[in-house]
Chain A
Amino acid sequence: MPDDSLTPSKAARLVGNTGPQPHEVIPDEQIIDDRDLSQFISDRLAGKYEVDDFGFDPELTDKVLMQALRPMYRKWFRVETSGLDNVPDVGGALVVGNHSGTIALDALMTQVALLDDHPARRHLRMLAANLVFETPFVGELARKAGHTLACQPDAERLLNSGEIVGVWPEGFKGTGKPFSERYKLQRFGRGGFVAAALRTRTPIIPTAVIGAEETYPMIGNAKGLARLLGFPYFPITPTFPWLGPLGLVPLPSKWMIHFCEPIPTDGYPENAADDPMLVFNLTDQVRETIQTTIYDLLVKRNSVFG
């Protein structure tokens, strides 16, 4: 959480005796002055911070990991977020989104949106594939950013403790689909996420993201190479791998995120999660809502890079 108190240097800045003023107005929360920074670094090096049972390190996430993503959110993709009042200020909820763009940037941008733009600054706890936790560095960072393995026990544990949980039921089928199939939702797994929401009686918030499809337009898939490396797919885009590391820079598409009206799950009987018909129907309802919202957003967007 940003510190709202008036630190000496902030006070000095307000009375205007700190020499030249910056030309651009930077929101207060993004300024860490030197003294805070050295304190922060020495605390980190002494291990003076807390992690939760999942390994979530809120301090590192807010001050370092999200800080690295913020310019991407604000400047590069110019993300427009709407429907944030559909996400509760307190208590658990399940955010269900569409997945695209070869790497899970859409999930990360949704996390920034809920942390920075939601009035209650909510942390999004994502459910990720086990490939993430097998991969060195990636798995470590994912745990520290608050994410965990996509499985029923973890989903229910997080929802029961009042967290916002993010799930992308299309999985690799969504991120690894060719550019020609953009904005067409893939199959939605087995509806495990609906069962988790039903069991914990937490609302489902269908969420649509547009823009991620154009970041790395996947025009080919090197399947042999993917199998060799143990990846679910190996993307070929107009810039990757042809331009080397430069090909890793995502195209600056214009993004929009909309959180739809929550679907309540507390009106069902006790064992509703064991009713496959209900689970399938709710899964379809979530999928349809996201698909329709994607089309609405696409109409609203001026152009791909607008």
Chain B
Amino acid sequence: MGRIVLVTGVSRYLGGKLAAHLAADPGVDRVIGVDVVAPTMTLDGVDFVRADIRSPVIAKVLGEAEVDTVVHMGVLATPRQAGGRSAMKEINVIGTMQLLAACQKTPSIESFIVKSTSSVYGCGPKDPAMFTEETEPRHTPTSGWAKDSVEVEGYVRGFSRRRPDVCVTTFRFANFIGPVVRTPMTAYYGLPVVPTVMGFDARLQFVHEDDGLESLRHAVHARKPGTFNVAGDGVITLSQSIRRMGKKQLSVPQFMFSTIGRNLSRTGVVDFSPEQIRFMTYGRVLDTSDYTATFDHRLRYSTPDAFADFAHRDESALSEVPNA
């Protein structure tokens, strides 16, 4: 018998793509997609349920469909998607708590997978060159998506203690990139002149959108508990990536960078949280050997390859694509 999977956050690009990807998988019997708004993309083979994970409705959906696997893709990266920072925090943290509460009450649940982010490590000058899953954050994130993700991971750990029979898998992804996905990082690269922090050249890693979704599909089948870093091999520096796009770079002193970032955020073009600015100053590189060994899966795209697949896409053709 195949799996019955519930995916949250399917109205956004990655959630929707994953749901469709799983629906096409012969090893999966049924995919239920959940979100508060209807998806704009067509989700072939996905049973869409319009529900707020912050409401008890979700428990009913889980129980009636006898869901065995939940993939939580519903943690938002930017306040703009939620309509403000407090709404974002509510969706991310309270939403996750409600979802976990519903899962705890549903006996059919065997596996819970959460898409988290490597930004839970924070970043700064005192960090080792590469983060393993055990690396203790020396610069803990204090705001935004990264802080929400730290809290989300905390609640997920609590859930795994209360339901030790459920296989809980947490993926800490590097930034998603690729020919279609739209994130704050891709919006940043879309600026006519790309501002960087003077005197710093962040080391960056990306995960190709196809690889990221494929790794989540692997997790649905493999059921390996634990926390894993997921990123394309290798490193690209910020200045190098801008050069490879053939764009102009504008070095801005550190203290002015946050002012520029704030103003750009206000125009709604890009989202520059303080966390994002730290990331663009110091960067972050992950040790992914644990993922590769446990899931026996090598990502198809290295970081430079994933970036190359993104670098020359046509932004204007993608305006209809929902955010990641």
CB within 8 Å of B: which residues of A? 44-55, 57, 130, 133-140, 143-144, 148-149, 151, 153-154, 157
Tell me if B200 counts as interface (CB < 8 A to partner A).
yes
Contact indicator A143/B201 (Cβ below 8 Å): yes
Question: Which of B186-194, B232-240, B293-301 contacts the other chain?
Answer: B232-240
Contact indicator A136/B128 (Cβ below 8 Å): no
Q: What residue in chain B is nearest A151 (Cβ atoms)?
A: B128
Cross-interface CB contact of A130 among B126, B135, B198, B242, cutoff 8 Å: B126
Question: For B241, what are the chain A residues with a Cβ–Cβ distance below 8 Å?
Answer: 47
Contact indicator A55/B235 (Cβ below 8 Å): yes
Interface of B is mostly: loop
Tell me if B132 counts as interface (CB < 8 A to partner A).
yes
Contact indicator B203/A153 (Cβ below 8 Å): no
Return 30 A-B CB contacts under 8 Å, by A number. A44-B243, A47-B239, A47-B240, A47-B241, A48-B244, A49-B240, A50-B304, A51-B203, A51-B236, A51-B237, A53-B129, A53-B203, A53-B235, A55-B201, A55-B203, A130-B125, A130-B126, A133-B125, A133-B126, A136-B197, A136-B198, A136-B199, A136-B254, A140-B199, A140-B201, A143-B201, A148-B128, A148-B129, A149-B127, A153-B132
Which residues 208-267 of B sit at the A interface, judged by CB distance below 8 A?
A: 234-237, 239-244, 246, 254
- Cβ distance A139 to chain B, nearest Cβ, rounded Å: 7
Whole-angstrom CA separation of A149 from B282 in the bound complex: 13
Question: For B282, what are the chain A residues with a Cβ–Cβ distance below 8 Å?
Answer: 133
Whole-angstrom CA separation of A53 from B234 in the bound complex: 6
- Cβ distance A172 to chain B, nearest Cβ, rounded Å: 16
Whole-angstrom CA separation of A134 from B200 in the bound complex: 9
Which residues 91-137 of B sit at the A interface, judged by CB distance below 8 A?
A: 125-130, 132, 135
Q: Given A46-B243, A47-B243 in contact, is the A149-B130 Cβ separation under 8 Å? A: no
Whole-angstrom CA separation of A153 from B234 in the bound complex: 18
Which residues 287-307 of B sit at the A interface, judged by CB distance below 8 A?
A: 304
The residue in B198, B237, B239 that gathers the most chain A C-beta atoms within 10 A of its C-beta is B237
Question: For A57, what are the chain B residues with a Cβ–Cβ distance below 8 Å?
Answer: 237
The residue in B197, B200, B282 that gathers the most chain A C-beta atoms within 10 A of its C-beta is B200
Tell me if B285 counts as interface (CB < 8 A to partner A).
yes
Question: For A134, what are the chain B residues with a Cβ–Cβ distance below 8 Å?
Answer: 125
- Cβ distance A128 to chain B, nearest Cβ, rounded Å: 10
Cross-interface CB contact of A139 among B130, B135, B200, B237, cutoff 8 Å: B200
Contact indicator B129/A149 (Cβ below 8 Å): yes
Whole-angstrom CA separation of A143 from B240 in the bound complex: 14
Contact indicator B198/A53 (Cβ below 8 Å): no
Q: Given A49-B240, A51-B235, A53-B235 in contact, is the A144-B201 Cβ separation under 8 Å? A: yes
The residue in B127, B129, B198, B239 that gathers the most chain A C-beta atoms within 10 A of its C-beta is B129
Whole-angstrom CA separation of A83 from B254 in the bound complex: 44
Whole-angstrom CA separation of A44 from B236 in the bound complex: 13
Question: For A136, what are the chain B residues with a Cβ–Cβ distance below 8 Å?
Answer: 197-200, 254
Question: For B130, what are the chain A residues with a Cβ–Cβ distance below 8 Å?
Answer: 53, 153-154, 157
Cross-interface CB contact of A54 among B126, B129, B200, B304, cutoff 8 Å: B129
Contact indicator A45/B129 (Cβ below 8 Å): no
The residue in A47, A48, A134 that gathers the most chain B C-beta atoms within 10 A of its C-beta is A47
Whole-angstrom CA separation of A148 from B283 in the bound complex: 14
Question: For B126, what are the chain A residues with a Cβ–Cβ distance below 8 Å?
Answer: 130, 133, 149
Question: For A52, what are the chain B residues with a Cβ–Cβ distance below 8 Å?
Answer: 235
Q: What residue in chain A is nearest B197 (Cβ atoms)?
A: A136
Question: For A130, what are the chain B residues with a Cβ–Cβ distance below 8 Å?
Answer: 125-126
Contact indicator A137/B199 (Cβ below 8 Å): yes
> Could you list 16 further interchain pairs (A-B, Cβ under 8 angstroms) beyond the known A49-B240, A53-B129, A53-B285?
A47-B240, A47-B241, A50-B304, A53-B130, A53-B234, A53-B235, A55-B201, A135-B199, A136-B198, A136-B199, A148-B128, A149-B126, A151-B128, A153-B135, A154-B129, A157-B130
Question: For B128, what are the chain A residues with a Cβ–Cβ distance below 8 Å?
Answer: 148-149, 151, 153-154
Question: For B200, what are the chain A residues with a Cβ–Cβ distance below 8 Å?
Answer: 136, 139-140
Which residues 117-171 of B sit at the A interface, judged by CB distance below 8 A?
A: 125-130, 132, 135
Whole-angstrom CA separation of A44 from B243 in the bound complex: 8
Cross-interface CB contact of B203 among A137, A143, A149, A151, cutoff 8 Å: A143
- Cβ distance A8 to chain B, nearest Cβ, rounded Å: 28
Whole-angstrom CA separation of A123 from B130 in the bound complex: 20
- Cβ distance A221 to chain B, nearest Cβ, rounded Å: 24
Contact indicator B125/A139 (Cβ below 8 Å): yes
